[in-house]
Structure 1
Amino acid sequence: MRALTWAGGTDVIVTDVPEPVPGTGQVLVEVAYAGLCGTDLHICSGEHPRARPGQIIGHEIVGTVAQSAEGIAAGTAVVVDPLVACGACPTCLADRPQTCERLRLIGIDFPGGAASHVAVDADRLIPVRGQANLRNLAFAEPLAVAVRAVRRSGLQDGQNVLVVGGGPIGVAIAAYARNRGAGRVVLAEPSPVRREFAAALGITTVVDATGLRAEVVFDAAAHSVVADLITDVTAPGGTAVIVGVYGSPQPFNLQAVTFNELSVVGTRVYSRRDIAEATELISSGRFDPEPFLTRTVELEEAPEAIVELRRGVGVKVLVRSSQ
């Protein structure tokens, strides 16, 4: 089969690879769409510490079961939960697999979904109930990150929200927080293209968060400037949620945390509950991902799409893996 692979350095190619053969407890999925995101860009720039040349990328996967297996009938529409936890470390045993000490990911540690087929452990599949719009459901995985971030924030009805960082995750957090009953929602983002995208969804945008205050603040940028700013923009008694992943430790104003009685919350990817909820939100029509899906390309066009994503063109690119 054809697959989108990272060949090393900054080379991304579509090449022939053997079609996967499901192992014990696995299901073969015919991939409909695989989303590309910032993690894929890191892999394809040689910046991800675990990825190895030859890796089939793509962890935002939706498709249908190719062959009945493990109690799941052929033709069932499924969203793939790409997180693979060890199941044995203390955090896994405490039912927190998303913080597993040895957490691995389909598309980094295992062959990904930017191909016609992918073999997946049966417990990584979320069957879709009712009518399935597979293209829209390709956004379930990134939406799950937003669902978990908002859940971890403890957002209450009417609370004002500030999101710093206007990438797909930041905008999804802003949109989902609004759906969950937030008061005023503001998104801070220096890029005019990203601000324009968020504004088209009815989200209030600003260039810089300096001088603003909100009860709940989401750091979706993971930039040192934001680390310096976040305790200033979180209202006394409020909650700051760190969503973006910093590449190195950052200075943080712990005095402000104490004096203003701030809560600082970390959030890592999502739990099974979160991605299942994201799947239901989309399949039920309660969250419309269509505006986020700015481009769909065929598998053979995907390397060029990655070049454009590096240039900041588009929001979410989907790779159509099967006809």
Structure 2
Amino acid sequence: MRDTPPPPRTMKALLLHGREDLRLTERPVPAPGPGEVLLAVGSVGVCGSDRHFFSEGRASSDVMTEPFVMGHEFGGRIAAVGAGVDPARIGERVSVEPLVPCGACRSCARGAYNVCPTQRFHGVPGAEGALQEYVAVPARNAFPVPDAISDAAAAMVEPISVSLWASERGEITIGDSVLVTGGGPIGLFALQVARARGAGRVVLVEPQPSRRETAAGFGAETAASLDEVTGEFDVLMECTGVQAVRHDGCGHVRPGGRAVFVGVGAQDAGVPMPSVIEREVDIRGVMRYRFTWPVVIEGLAAGRFRADELVSRTLPLEEAHRAWTEPLTGADVKTIIRVGS
């Protein structure tokens, strides 16, 4: 156990009260329950789903019904532990997996906890997120990170995990050709994961020149649109959720290949059915991740994944509202909210 001061009685928290209504509030610091740790939050990544909650009051099937704290990409330092947790963990730097499954359903029993129908997810309605100074999380969801990994990178274990699980769904292996559509954080991590898994040709499609330049630095060919892409691919990693991109991207998958839909986009979307059926293209969805945290942390520590280069802006919690009211330009990639020192 490191020499860590006890947590204070109150803290600052950024609550979303409704559409476009963020308020910085003073509230009590929670006490960790049995099997939980109290995290002094370090850095929090802002995700596209956070933007949807702010502007629409919902993200995919998660609907806001009362004020809540966003922030599901996060890490920090353990400040206190609940009953049943080793006190030696106090002071430990961790990255947190926000998905909390029930552990008892059929999906959980077969290891597919990411599709647990009653799962909770820190940062969406029903489970407190990390845009506050302290948050209590299950101890088993807090994974130690070495000092070689920055606080920002510890927060980005979450989006890298999305990309890693997408690559698992796509069964990317040595020599595969991979088409990635979208040069946001998920797409840029998807290409890094594909390269780490031994993919041969990796092409990233993104209209923003600076994002294409970043992708090229990660070892990908780049194109501004699908119209510029030639050839067929073993795997499509569709990270935009844009209907036209999803539709046209499927046409670039080889017979017997895999189209992996990562970006959510509209509630209903079409695909080119003749192309999919006649060429037996497998379409696979991606629901978050499972068993990814140790792999991603090891990859960051070994330099296989580069996260810090994607950070375009860092804001203190007191100015976090700017992440929504002053959005990044299309050329920028990632906003990090710095909560703790």
**TM-score, structure 1 as length reference:** 0.92
Name which of 45, 67, 91 aligns with 2:107.
Answer: 91
Deviation of residue 289 (structure 1)?
0.9
Task: Determine which of 122, 146, 151 is the counterpart of 2:163.
Answer: 146
- Summarize deviations over 1:198-227 as a string: whole Å, max 9, x none: 344443221211353211111111111023
CA distance in 2, matches of 1:222, 1:261: 22
Give 3-state SS (helix, strand or coil) of 2:251's partner: helix
Aligned to 2:51: 41
Counterpart of 1:27 in structure 2 is 37
CA contact (8 A) 1:130 1:283 kept: no
User: What is the CA–CA distance in structure 2 between the aligned matches of 1:52 and 1:5, rounded to whole Å?
Assistant: 13
Partner AA of 2:305 in structure 1? F
Q: CA deviation at 1:193?
A: 4.5
Q: In structure 1, give the amino acid aligned to 2:250.
A: T
In structure 1, stretches of 5+ residues that fail to align are: none
Cα separation, 1, equivalents of 2:57 and 2:209: 27
C-alpha distance in 2, partners of 1:2/1:156?
A: 45
In structure 2, what is the equivalent of residue 77 of structure 1? 93
Runs of 5+ consecutive residues of structure 2 not aligned to the other structure: 1-10
1:62 aligned onto 2:78: no
Q: How does 1:162-181 map to 2 (within 5 A)?
A: 162-181=179-198
Cα contact 2:46–2:323 (8 A) shared by 1: no
Write the mapping of 1:189-268 to structure 2, written as runs, cut at 5 A. Answer: 189-210=206-227, 212=230, 213-268=232-287
| 1:87 counterpart SS class | coil
Which residue identity is paired with 1:76? E
Deviation at residue 195 of structure 1 after TM alignment: 2.9
- Aligned partners of 1:155, 1:311: CA distance in 2, in Å? 32
- Return the alpha-carbon distance in structure 2 between the equivalents of residues 241 and 231 of structure 1: 9
Counterpart CA distance in 1 for 2:273 and 2:308 is 40
Alignment deviations for residues 101-131 of structure 1 (CA, whole Å, 9 cap, x no partner): 1232101121111111111111221122564
**AA partner of residue 233 (structure 2):** A
Contact 1:137 / 1:283 at 8 angstroms: preserved in 2?
no
* TM-score, reference length from structure 2: 0.88
2:121 to 105, 116, 119: 105
2:300 to 252, 273, 282: 282
**Residues 209 and 331 in structure 2, CA contact (< 8 A), matched pair in contact too:** no
Match of 2:14 in 1: 4
Judge which range, 12-21 or 111-120, deviates more.
12-21
Aligned identity (percent) is 35
Among 121, 125, 145, the alignment partner of 1:128 is 145
For residues 77 and 61 of structure 1, what CA distance do their matches in structure 2 show? 11
CA gap 1:308/1:196 in 2 versus in 1, 3 angstroms: farther
Does structure 1 residue 302 correspond to structure 2 residue 320? yes
> 2:56 corresponds to which letter in structure 1?
G
**Cα RMSD, aligned residues only:** 2.0
The one-letter code sitting in structure 2 at the alignment partner of 1:165 is G
Whether the aligned pair in 2 keeps the contact of 1:41 and 1:310 (CA below 8 Å) is no
| Residue 315 of structure 1 pairs with residue 315 of structure 2 | no
Distance 2:67 2:250 in 1: 42
Alpha-carbon distance, 1:191 to partner: 3.4
Query: 2: CA distance between counterparts of 1:250 and 1:286?
Result: 34
1:319 Cα shift? 1.0
Aligned counterparts of 2:250 and 2:117: Cα–Cα separation in 1: 29
For residues 228 and 284 of structure 1, the distance between their equivalents in structure 2, rounded to whole angstroms, comes to: 36
Give the drift of 1:160: 1.3
Secondary structure at 1:45's aligned position in 2? Answer: helix
Count residues in correspondence. Answer: 322
Q: Secondary structure at the match of 1:177?
A: helix
- Matching residue of 1:160: 177
Deviation at 1:163, TM superposition (A): 0.5
Distance in 1 between the 2:151 and 2:250 partners? 40
Residue 185 of structure 1 is matched in structure 2 by 202
CA displacement at 1:23 relative to structure 2:
1.8
Say if 2:30 and 2:134, in contact at 8 Å, map to a contact too.
Answer: yes
